[in-house]
A and B are shown apart, each in its own frame.
Chain A
């Protein structure tokens, strides 16, 4: 049982490039989400999904796209990277959107130059 996995661990992009951050979980969790962590801002919710085929926006969705074609995977796409997207990105999952324990992946450290 690997829990929540994320790839890559580190990434450097140039402004305007696109990329996909991968997230997968093997716990059969329905709820998955993406956060970004910035100094002084804490962790903020980007997008979330309550099940395969269902996604919605969180607090800071601009510049990011998500899809959920399977229960296991929840990729985050940056369509045209900007320096303001330099951050550490965490994927999380839980059994449901209700008050269940959430588990976080190891994070992806992204730098946009």
Chain B
């Protein structure tokens, strides 16, 4: 099956700093999503971005499908950005039956 690798595994920032999270995947995808799992465990949809670039406030994401990676940018980080960021993909074709394959996540801690 498809492999998803996220880096870095852990990231510690001071409030106001910028950061870039990376997601590499091993095969073609027709769905790529970024999620934020907050300290209460909820999975919050950030971006649905199988290709191209999107921006939402301080967050933006870029997926280069031909090179099999996606980047999540967080600018001017705030303490409320803390949590785990997951990249999840759906393998194109095959028999993945809609399954999203998740990376292991990046644990982000933002200090005031």
Contact = CB atoms under 8 A, between A and B. Distances in A.
Contacts of B105: 42
B90 interface: yes
Nearest to B40: A106
Given A42-B104, A101-B48, A59 B99 contact: yes
A88 B37 CA distance: 13
Q: How large is the interface on B (under 10, 10 to 19, 20 to 34, 35 or more residues)?
A: 20 to 34
Contacts of A107: 41-43
A112 B60 CA distance: 40
Interface in B95-110: 97-100, 102-105
Q: How large is the interface on A (under 10, 10 to 19, 20 to 34, 35 or more residues)?
A: 20 to 34
A98 B93 CA distance: 9
A71 B76 CA distance: 41
Nearest to B32: A99
Given A99-B31, A101-B31, A101-B33, A48 B42 contact: no
Contacts of B48: 101
Interface of A: 31, 33, 42-43, 45, 48, 50, 56, 58-59, 88, 90, 92, 94, 97-104, 106-107, 109
